[in-house]
Structure 1
């Protein structure tokens, strides 16, 4: 056994121990003799509501409808962690990888080339610069997910909603905007420009500079009756949560606009509401997760929903990435792209939004139901060549980019 394989075998045994001990091991939804493909799924944190949302879609829905079995990573914090998981999955006989991490994509694709392992980004996008570096890899299948425009619009539309909601003292939680997270940065810029337009504000500093501030900043917005506080940092990081706690000590707020998952700070917000004796409206660019479903259906001590506005991804947005990978694993990469020189495709989706619990519950239902799912097994089979021999890359593109509520409702009616 080579040194590299010995090291990877150790990693594999560790990963399998984590799956078993932590109760996270994915059991086959079908008998192993019926499984044609095993798939590794890279998740950055199994405790994240967004990651759990995608995991449940694959485990509880896709695995029921296709002859596949999924294995999920533990927490991934670096490209090296992801590469180690990929190598361990290769030894496990996994056929391909769906990733919800994908940082330092060039290194990761190099590892996939070496291991001859197909790889697709499940719900994200990469820069043009990175894409040019990896697009000729025979094993990199591309990306599916919201682009920068979608992130910007999600932030802008959230600001638009709150500007009409009788709020004037805003705290904007910018997440990783100051740490190179382009997705969070675009959402924050959207929030600031949306508030400026709707509230008639004039900032004394450049919007992108404000959005990427590394310190808590009270924005000079040009109006005395509107205040905006920029609060940077991830709430899983002590520095980030301390920024929020200190900002809550300094002043009262009537709106929290969060550019990432808000579940981590709901208790902190509730405590602030009790301390200041008034309601704080909460909005987030997050996801249609079970956790957010529970929060939006629960009232705070003032009788208002704990979350007032959600824009975000939904579970079955991970469906098209599965179809792309299945086409490649089954020997039909031409079903994904017409490009004779590349197996790579870039497809885009946007977000859903809800500003009341009835709307949220309706949309959430479209991501959970076996028979009426936003991207159902029947929908995906239509763009997988092993099931539909006449499918084309245009069919895949059309299905993937038909992500809106109206598109989904139309598909459900037609099925």
Structure 2
């Protein structure tokens, strides 16, 4: 269901933590056989001079690993590009530092999978004259309106916030239609915007109100204000017996408590397949996630208790790479109004192994959905916004 993007309320950033990385310390992959040795590690020398830095907030999730494999094991070889990944970025300061490091080392562009403060990311890239594109998630409408004409902001290709909300709605409805009476919810990393919208959608899909509110805009605003879910504010026929978010020692204790509460379903808006598959399988609790079509998730839906997966293709990040390559080669893509590209992608849903296998097999191996042949349609001197829009809409 298509909705009009609503203005997202401002929200507090995750509390600042000490920096854990310097950009350039992550691994890179280049398409050549020549090597040199740096810092005790063998590093390939690139044949070309295109270097792209990648900002990452999640370094271990199934979805994140799928995106990385596509870039490093397919795109890098096909186009002779160097991708350098950061370590885990835990706050806005580390994102800014990473971009400045990339710029100082001659990188031409940054692709972002990190969302602590995308406004600051764009401003830092603008200051350092380095191209920037978002490959996972999107800016809220207010932010996009502010930065859409910035010279170095190329745009965003990924599920819009309304698409994230609808993904949560459909997942909640799946369990409501099964007739469950109790559930646990994993809100993952709120206040990450995509997780907020997904969680609000789950509540709507389950037929629940939050703080007396039922509309997307109102529930999203309340969750941002609460920085999570307050179980006392949930009303409806399905009882939420446990809520948890984040990951660490506390969350490990919380997943055990959630299992002890014996919910009929464990509904996750991200990362449950990474953190909790083993525990939920062992407990015999059906669970869902919004993640990606990976081998591990296939095993969970075939032999475990994963019964619903809303996923993105690992190669869905191909169009963001195309925006970057075009810009580096002198063709900065803009829409008819002269704005940065903003295209929404939908999720594919699998509730059984047969459907999962169809999506998984279509996007893995030597011929992913966004293969070299497909990307060559949207990389080139004559490529326009209409060309990219048409290809993304058809994939």
Q: Post-superposition shift, 1:160?
A: 2.3
Alignment of structure 1 residues 2-41 onto 2, 5 Å: 15-16=23-24, 18-19=25-26, 25-30=27-32, 32=45, 34-41=47-54
Q: Post-superposition shift, 1:202?
A: 7.5
1:169-204 Cα deviation digits (max 9, x unpaired): 21122234xx433322222222222222xxxx7888
Q: CA RMSD in A?
A: 2.6
Q: Does structure 2 conserve the Cα–Cα contact (< 8 Å) formed by 1:219 and 1:230?
A: no
Rate the CA distance shift 1:202–1:174 in 2: closer, same or farther, 3 A. Answer: closer
Q: Does structure 2 conserve the Cα–Cα contact (< 8 Å) formed by 1:218 and 1:228?
A: no
State the alpha-carbon separation in 2 of the partners of residues 218 and 238 from structure 1. 26
State the alpha-carbon separation in 1 of the partners of residues 100 and 158 from structure 2. 25
Rate the CA distance shift 1:189–1:33 in 2: closer, same or farther, 3 A. Answer: closer
State the alpha-carbon separation in 2 of the partners of residues 401 and 69 from structure 1. 28
2:376 counterpart of 1:381: yes
Alignment of structure 1 residues 141-220 onto 2, 5 Å: 141-165=154-178, 167-176=180-189, 179-196=190-207, 205-207=212-214, 208=219, 209=222, 213-217=228-232, 219-220=234-235
2:391 counterpart of 1:402: no
State the alpha-carbon separation in 1 of the partners of residues 229 and 198 from structure 2. 16
Of 254-263 and 87-96, deviating more is: 87-96
Compute the TM-score of the two structures, normalised by the length of structure 1: 0.78
Q: Post-superposition shift, 1:246?
A: 2.7
2:105 counterpart of 1:92: yes
Match of 1:282 in 2: 287
Alignment of structure 1 residues 330-349 onto 2, 5 Å: 330-333=329-332, 335-340=333-338, 342=339, 344-349=340-345
State the alpha-carbon separation in 1 of the partners of residues 223 and 384 from structure 2. 45
Q: Post-superposition shift, 1:56?
A: 0.4
Q: Secondary structure at the match of 2:335?
A: coil
Say which of 114, 123, 145 aligns to 2:127. Answer: 114
Match of 1:361 in 2: 357
Rate the CA distance shift 1:248–1:216 in 2: closer, same or farther, 3 A. Answer: farther
Q: Secondary structure at the match of 2:168?
A: helix
Q: Post-superposition shift, 1:287?
A: 1.8
Match of 1:311 in 2: 310
Match of 1:408 in 2: none
Larger Rg, first or second structure (1 or 2)? 1
Structure number having the greater helix percentage: 1
Match of 2:269 in 1: 259
Q: Post-superposition shift, 1:210?
A: 7.5
Q: Secondary structure at the match of 1:59?
A: helix
Q: Secondary structure at the match of 1:320?
A: helix
Rate the CA distance shift 1:351–1:241 in 2: closer, same or farther, 3 A. Answer: same
Match of 2:4 in 1: none
Q: Post-superposition shift, 1:348?
A: 0.8
State the alpha-carbon separation in 1 of the partners of residues 124 and 161 from structure 2. 27
Q: Secondary structure at the match of 1:99?
A: strand
Q: Does structure 1 conserve the Cα–Cα contact (< 8 Å) formed by 2:169 and 2:201?
A: yes
State the alpha-carbon separation in 2 of the partners of residues 188 and 14 from structure 1. 32
Match of 1:327 in 2: 326
Specify every segment of 5 or more residues in structure 1 that has no aligned partner in the other structure, as ranges. 1-10, 20-24, 274-278, 300-304, 404-415
Aligned residues: 357
State the alpha-carbon separation in 2 of the partners of residues 112 and 255 from structure 1. 43
Q: Does structure 2 conserve the Cα–Cα contact (< 8 Å) formed by 1:261 and 1:287?
A: no
State the alpha-carbon separation in 2 of the partners of residues 112 and 294 from structure 1. 40
Q: Secondary structure at the match of 2:88?
A: coil
Q: Secondary structure at the match of 1:170?
A: strand
Q: Does structure 2 conserve the Cα–Cα contact (< 8 Å) formed by 1:327 and 1:336?
A: no
Q: Secondary structure at the match of 1:368?
A: coil
1:144-187 Cα deviation digits (max 9, x unpaired): 110122112111211222233353321122234xx433322222
